[in-house]
Amino acid sequence: MASAASVATATPRLASRHRARAPSRAIRRAAAIAASTNASDDDVATSARRDDPTVSREDRAHVVLGAGGRTGTEIVKRLVRNGANVRACTRSGAFDAAAATSAPWSSTLVTRCACDVAAGAAGVAAAVAGADVVYFAATASASGDPDAVDRDGVVDVARACVENDVRRLVLVSGAGVTKREAPAYGFLNAFGGRMDAKAAGEDGLRAVYQSTAAVERGCTYTIVRPSGLLDGDAKGAASLAVNQGDEVAGFITRADAAAACVEAAESANCANRTFEVYERDTAVATATLSIADILSDRTLAKVVAFAEGVFRRRGGGEGDGVAAEVLTAREVTSETWEGLFRGLTRDA
């Protein structure tokens, strides 16, 4: 557990409630089993899930895989503000030494853990045991193995979530993942087949949740496809649009993308659904998504756009006028998160 510093940004009532309660018997026993050198991962997984069936949803952890990344960190921040118990996982369990003493890592609501999603299903099962929601915000590094992380890792986590009765798995994917002919797809895919792996990971996840076990246990997933991720503060639901069908992409801050993930995890309208999310008026067709369209560095994007022969500005509220009904007929805007999620079509 992190240091005992108070959480100024957490919802007071929720934060107080979580700090006041001692860990449940199931969680204590799971920790004891995990410490045992002879324990199997199945022992750890089943202990927190079944040993104490009276544990409330509020007591169950929100697990963030890839918590050390920029989007994963924003998810942790959002959860802490909401007063949730967070299990923040990185591949090694280590965090930057300076960051570890500051928010959100200094929060008493955050437990730092190790989980290498590329290491196979056994290690993943232990990380998600006893969770209410799991957020998959991990992705392979530029020199890493996308097949191991973005494809096999996603499927392993999905299977572990179903086996451990995790209510919702939220996958952070990306817009344009189905548009193989788009220039941006080819550019990103040059890094070890990254886009191919993400597409296969999405498909594999959906297959897991179509299984009899997932349906009978009531386990669900949400796939969130942000794009053009920017640093900066969250602008809120009223500044965003959601879409489906992978026809449109746009820019969005990581803080807003994280908020969309956390809010979607609590919405019945997002169960077993996939959607794109971006800032209003930044829409561009994914079928022709260029390298410039995905660069968060605006100056570099302009240079690349000139090189491509098409000058476009993105992320500052100035789209290229892409408003054709064929692209935006499914776009939804609203002042609230539930308004954004209302009417989302369930995945086939």
Question: Does residue 243 sit within a domain?
Answer: yes
Question: Does residue 151 sit within a domain?
Answer: yes
Q: Which amino acid is residue 18, in one-letter code?
A: H
Question: Does residue 137 sit within a domain?
Answer: yes
DSSP β-ladder status, 229-230 and 252-253 = parallel
Please measure the distance between the N-terminal and C-terminal CA atoms of the chain and give it in whole angstroms: 41
Helices 121-128 and 41-50 cross at an angle (nearest 10°) of 20
Domain range for 271 is 12-292+323-341
Question: Does residue 48 sit within a domain?
Answer: yes
The reported pLDDT for the residue numbered 56 is: 66
- Contact of 26 with 97, CB cutoff 8 Å: no
Per-residue pLDDT tens, the chain, 348 aa: give them: 443 333 333 333 333 333 333 444 344 334 433 443 333 344 334 334 433 455 566 679 999 999 999 999 999 999 999 999 999 999 988 877 666 667 788 899 999 999 999 988 888 999 999 999 999 999 999 889 999 999 999 999 999 999 999 999 999 999 999 999 888 888 888 888 999 999 999 999 999 999 999 999 999 999 999 988 999 999 999 999 999 999 999 999 999 999 999 999 999 999 999 999 999 989 888 888 776 666 655 444 443 443 344 434 444 444 444 444 446 668 999 999 999 999 999 999
Question: Does residue 1 sit within a domain?
Answer: no
Question: Does residue 183 sit within a domain?
Answer: yes
Question: Does residue 314 sit within a domain?
Answer: no
Burial class (CB in 10 A: 0-12, 13-18, 19+), 277: buried
The reported pLDDT for the residue numbered 9 is: 35
Q: Which amino acid is residue 61, in one-letter code?
A: A
CATH at residue 178: 3.40.50.720
Give exposure, 93-128, as e/b (b: 16+ Cβ within 10 Å): eebeeeeeeebbbbbbbbbbbebbbbeebebbbbbb
The reported pLDDT for the residue numbered 107 is: 92
**Total domains in the fold of the chain:** 1
- Contact of 24 with 55, CB cutoff 8 Å: yes
Question: Does residue 252 sit within a domain?
Answer: yes
Write the pLDDT tens digit of every residue in 215-269.
999 999 999 999 889 999 999 999 999 999 999 999 999 999 999 999 999 999 9
